[in-house]
Amino acid sequence: MHVDTLIRGGTVIDGSGAAAFAADVAITDGVLTAIGDLRDVTAGETIDATGRVVAPGFIDVHIHSEIAIADTTNPYRYGSVLQGVTTHLTAPDGFGWTHLSGDPARQLWDGLRFAYGEAPFPIGWPSAREYLAIFPGNTPVNVVPQVPHCAVRMAVLGWDTRAPDADELRRMEDLTREWLDAGAKCLNLGLDYQPSAFATTDELIALSRVAREYDGLYAAHVRYNGLGRAEAFRETWRIGEGADIPVHISHERIDAESAALFAEGEGRCDVSFESYLYPAGCTHLALMLPLWAQAGGPDATRERLRDPEARAAMRAVLDDKLNNDPMRARVVCVDDQTGTYVGREIQAMAEEEGIPFGELAIRILESEHPYALMVYHRRTTPESLREEITATLRHPRMMVASDGMYSGVSAHPRAYGCFAQAVRLGVREYGAISLETAIHRMSGYPAERFRIPRRGFLREGYGADVVILDAGTYADRATWEEPRLEPVGVDRVIVNGTTVVLAGTPTGTLPGRVIDCNASA
């Protein structure tokens, strides 16, 4: 037998969670064609993987890369790929810009610019397929579409805060179906963000039923702001039951409260979640505002900041959260419009100036909204963090996903470090899980759960997305101070049979495809 590429002498971890085994791996025409003892096989290219782990390329189900990854001028676009990630899902938090044009497209882009930066393309695409056409030939990784609820709702209802009427709901169902026909399986939600924060549970059940027809699933950044964590989880279970659909909760972790909630959810529907495993979140500052202050999108919020009464009410809410909320022990600005606040902590700046925390936050909003991107450090200790990461990684319904962002001055280290940190901490330093389990949570489990066909496992007939890494040294280097330090320990990353990263450096090849999750086998 002659093949294109032969990876010889490595230790195969196949993505299923099963024990590692010694095997060679053959690739022809971008597909895994044989795995086993292949000593008699000849190859166009032979890669010596002696002493290395050969694993399926990782799959990131929640990553804000979709504009950066298609923008060949973006210097940060490889932050995820360098860790061995070979497939990115679009529309995390339901974000998207299809079926919009003109001012609504501009406004929605503004509202989400904290995660995507300056628009490198004309924004607004008339259809799902036209949007997905930006990827082939431009990206090193595969792209899996998801249904972006915020664009679906915006296209039908604009910034309205009301429920859709029957005709409007039918139009939203049609747009959802268009995405599913374009290859999506998952309806994705960001229920703290405008305009999705005003979606009703019935609307979400109705749209989930459309996804259910395609054997799809429902994934959400749940309604922390609108309902609080516990009730927001319970709304997700109601949607799972109401639409008879598997549900997935974005960027969560296991602590006493969530462990009980997930146990409750598992008794009611089919549940999973993802975690990036850092003790800090990252989003724009306006997300701390009450929903009435965010309603109508960024232009409306700016207008309210000019109204003294509304401004005072917003300041009071911000002040309370910055003083009392353990989720926001330290809030550090990592990107803004004017460069005034970058790298500085809100509470420290307020103390320096002798003004309340809320007043300082309002001043940032006045000069920077909607671009002020913040990192929200929770109150943790090294011991509590170790306990939390261990419990999270051991939860059978957990997968790793970064929530990474690839624009702006600075960011959160998860964009360059999430997957590598999961192995460094979870496997080597904490001994929480085996390397096989870690890789399952980063490849096979997300592929199965998000119904991505023929990806996520090293199996004959599957797409040749492969990472070759050194299990002893594979690690993140990104820190709070230097969030864009590249990971180490990755020899090679292969996408559809083509090497995209070699010895820690991008090769410049762009073999990524859009994966149609509804294509018949």
Contact residue for Zn ion among 221, 363, 414, 513 (CB under 5 A): 221
- Closest CB to Zn ion among 64 and 77? 64
Nearer to Zn ion, 115 or 314 (CB): 115
User: Taking the complex as a whole, how short is the minimal distance between the CB of residue 248 and Zn ion, in angstroms?
Assistant: 12
Nearest to Zn ion of 192, 491 (CB atom): 192
Dig out the tokens for 139 from the structure: 């990206």
Q: How far is 35 from 464, CA to CA, in rounded Å?
A: 12
Where does this chain touch Zn ion (CB under 5 A) — which range of 90-98, 269-277, 383-391, 512-520?
90-98
Question: What number of chain residues touch Zn ion (CB under 5 A)?
Answer: 2
Dihedral sign computed on CA atoms, order 424, 426, 430, 431: negative
Q: Which is nearer to Zn ion, 66 or 436 (CB)?
A: 66
What are the backbone angles phi and psi of residue 56, rounded to the nearest 5°? -65, 145
Q: Which of 66, 93, 173, 491 binds Zn ion (CB under 5 A)?
A: 93
Cα distance between residue 63 and residue 59, in whole Å: 10
> Which residues does 308 contact at the CB level (< 8 Å), separation at least 6?
none
Which listed range, 17-25, 217-225, 381-389, 433-441, lies at the site for Zn ion (CB under 5 A)?
A: 217-225
Say whether residue 223 binds Zn ion (CB under 5 A).
no
Q: Which stretch binds Zn ion (CB under 5 A): 69-77, 87-95, 139-147, 370-378?
A: 87-95
The tokens describing 128, both together, are 């799902």
Q: How far is the CB of 209 from Zn ion (least distance, A)?
A: 24
Stretch that binds Zn ion, among 213-221, 235-243, 254-262, 419-427 (CB under 5 A): 213-221
CB of 367 to Zn ion, least distance (A): 25
Helix (H) / strand (E) element for 115: namely helix 102-116
Tokens 């009392």 sit on residue: 324
Residue nearest to Zn ion (CB): 221
Cβ nearer to Zn ion, comparing 93 with 274: 93
For 461-476, give the DSSP string: TSB--EEEE-TTT-B-
In the 3-class helix/strand/coil scheme, how is 33-64 assigned residue by residue?
EEEECCCCCEEEEEEECCCCEEEECEEECCCE
Per-residue x/- marks for Zn ion, 15-44, CB under 5 A?
------------------------------
Strands (E), 210-360: 217-221, 247-249, 271-275, 280-284, 330-335
Binding-site ranges for Zn ion (CB under 5 A) = 93, 221
